[in-house]
Amino acid sequence: MEKKKSYEEELKELLIQVCLRIAKRGEGALFIVGEADYKPLVEQSVPSFRVIDNPKLLESLALMDGAIIINKKGFLEAYGVMIKSKKTFKNFGTRHSAAISASKKDNLVIIVSEEDKKVRIIQEGKMVMQLDAL
């Protein structure tokens, strides 16, 4: 008998699939599941929705500048936001520095690099998984 996936596992799988599609196109994105200090870069006109129910909308919002914030229940909290990062990290750009900062609050952070087309999962300030979209 197959074990039913938890909602967290389903959400993580969906985010990885979305990220791989974004990476294959050579675009970048940043997803944070949890809480983060942020400042909106765009007007938040799209109402909150359960991201598992609309991966296409999630993907299109992710292509905007800025990060996507998803709460622990799997609902979109904000998009197109700048993460208030405490510092920049040597040898990392602003997106990666924001990802490392945001991951230190027990958050799940998934980052898509437009330069090397890799998807990285970061937790507690450390990369725990890297996937190559190619």
Q: Decide if 117 contacts 134 (C-beta within 8 A).
A: yes
pLDDT at 2: 61
Which helix (H) or strand (E) is 24 found in, with range?
helix 7-24
Q: Tell me if 2 is assigned to some domain.
A: no
Q: Tell me if 1 is assigned to some domain.
A: no
Integer CA distances (angstroms), 96 to 31, 119, 124, in order: 11, 11, 14
Write the CATH number for 101. 3.40.1700.10
* Average pLDDT per block of 10 residues along the chain, 134 residues long: 78 96 95 94 95 97 94 96 73 71 87 92 90 86
What's the number of domains the chain is made of?
1
Burial of 95 (0-12, 13-18, 19+ CB in 10 A): buried
Q: What is the pTM of this model?
A: 0.89
pLDDT at 26: 93
Domain residues for the domain of 97 are 7-43+50-132
